[in-house]
Amino acid sequence: MRQSQLFTKARRETPKDEESRNAQLLIRAGFIHKEMAGVYAYLPLGLRVLEKIKAIVREEMNAVGGQELMMTTLQPKDIWEKTDRWDDSKVDNWFKTRLVSGAELGVGLTHEEPIVDAIGEYVSSYRDFPFSVYQIQNKFRNELRAKSGLLRGREFLMKDMYSFSRDQEQHEREYERIVEAYFRVYGRLGLGDITYRTHADGGIFTSRFSDEFQTLTEVGEDVIYLDESKGIAVNEEILTDENLEKLGLDRSALVPKKAVEVGNTFHLESKYTDALGVSFNDEKGENQSIVMGCYGIGISRLMGVIAELFADEKGLVWPGSVAPFRVHLLSLGADDLADETYRAFSEAGIEVLYDDRDLRAGEKFAESDLLGIPYRVVIGKRAAESGTAEVKRRTEDSAVDVPLSDLPSYLAQKA
């Protein structure tokens, strides 16, 4: 894409109404637009990042057999009454609204009830199991505080998956397969080494613990206690002697760390399926309960975490897997040669943002650093004479000279 055609422009000033580093940088770089606290629009560059995170999550959920669907944001009250969750004391942060007739509706903040209700029309036999469905969709939560940019939105993008199994054994297998897929997602996002499976509260219906996926960062709102040798953590919310004994963890081995929850998976047993009257017949024709699991990933929160964690004093630093473009091509007074290079990149299938604008070199460099695209390629007057271009990684200080004809293959090979 030619930058002269991109309507967003980098800003020098830090937005005054924004405390969090992720939102400050993303707004300055023109990736997001703040509508109000905790509510952000995604502009072209930001949307490219969000779509890449979505694509990784989608690939990994599909790889474990997840079937994608999309539920509705407007939710009827009656199905939530069947599980006794409509009451505000059971589910906090819920935006609710009304039809003109006065009938109350929920605005989607999670989807266990609607999903069970929908799949109930199709499942009837033990042969139907196991299966999982998921969606990637905006969720709405009336969060008390929304000062952390994309880390805590009132409208935010979540992937939520729901598994259905014929018995506990089948459920446990499905659950662990999905947990493994979660770690593949975090690994591909560059967060694998600092994201820990963390025992946490199981929710209102079960005595089992849930698993949170917590990424270590000073800006996290959660405190987890990490056993580094085991690579496992416990959320401080459940840090009691009784629980530690149950989990086989030794208090003296645990170190407190601040972290942000980037995913959460739950064992739901048969609480929702039973309450909504969804069951199946086994081989003998006997009616049996369905065992359910649910699995969330905070997609927009992950974008905020990546922006926040990898940024340096010059701006954003995107890992290659989610960068809006692979290469930022800068023309410094050598437009014909830069145009040719732009075409060569495009033909080689390299995603490139081409700064073809008439600006000072210093401005172009500063903006390039702020945007955080993994490779910067500079075509200046020298390039025409030497037949080489200056290539610099966003994470390195020095550039290397690469012959112009080698550029596409050089950039395509690099991780």
143 binds, among ligand ATP, Mg ion, none (CB under 5 to 8 A by kind): ligand ATP
Could you tell me the two tokens for 39?
């509510």
Per CB under 6 A, the list member of 3, 195, 264, 273 interacting with ligand ATP is 264
The residue range among 84-92, 96-104, 262-270, 361-369 that interacts with Mg ion, by the rule CB under 5 A, is 262-270
Per CB under 6 A, the list member of 141, 166, 257, 271 interacting with ligand ATP is 141
Per CB under 6 A, the list member of 136, 226, 249, 262 interacting with ligand ATP is 262
Could you tell me the two tokens for 164?
């259905």
Of 265, 263, 264, 272, residue with least CA distance to 292: 272
Q: Is 298 in the site for ligand ATP (CB under 6 A)?
A: yes
Per CB under 6 A, the list member of 30, 66, 106, 153 interacting with ligand ATP is 153
- How many binding residues for ligand ATP (CB under 6 A)? 15
Q: Is 261 in the site for ligand ATP (CB under 6 A)?
A: yes
Question: What CA–CA distance (Å, rounded) separates 213 from 266?
Answer: 12
Q: Minimum CB separation from ligand ATP for residue 141, in Å? A: 5
Q: Could you give the string, one character per residue 94-133, with x where binding to ligand ATP holds by CB under 6 A and - elsewhere?
A: ----------------x-----------------------
Q: Is 296 in the site for ligand ATP (CB under 6 A)?
A: yes
Is 51 in contact with 42 (CB distance < 8 Å)?
A: no
Per CB under 6 A, the list member of 51, 104, 128, 143 interacting with ligand ATP is 143
Question: What CA–CA distance (Å, rounded) separates 290 from 167?
Answer: 7
Question: What CA–CA distance (Å, rounded) separates 188 from 415?
Answer: 12
Q: Is 264 in the site for Mg ion (CB under 5 A)?
A: yes
Q: Minimum CB separation from Mg ion for residue 267, in Å? A: 14
Report the C-alpha dihedral over residues 111, 117, 119, 123, rounded to 10 degrees. 150
262 binds, among ligand ATP, Mg ion, none (CB under 5 to 8 A by kind): ligand ATP
Question: What CA–CA distance (Å, rounded) separates 388 from 147?
Answer: 46
Residue 26, class by beta-carbon neighbours within 10 Å (0-12 exposed, 13-18 middle, 19+ buried)? buried
Q: Is 158 in the site for ligand ATP (CB under 6 A)?
A: yes
Contacts made by residues 115-120, CB under 8 angstroms, sequence distance 24+: 115/71, 115/162, 116/162, 116/272, 116/273, 116/276, 116/278, 116/292, 117/79, 117/276, 117/278, 118/71, 119/164, 119/278, 120/273, 120/276, 120/277, 120/278
The residue range among 153-161, 162-170, 247-255, 346-354 that interacts with ligand ATP, by the rule CB under 6 A, is 153-161
Q: Which residues of the shown chain bind ligand ATP in the complex (CB under 6 A)? A: 110, 141, 143, 152-153, 156, 158, 261-264, 296, 298, 300-301
Using CB under 5 A, list all residues that contact Mg ion: 264
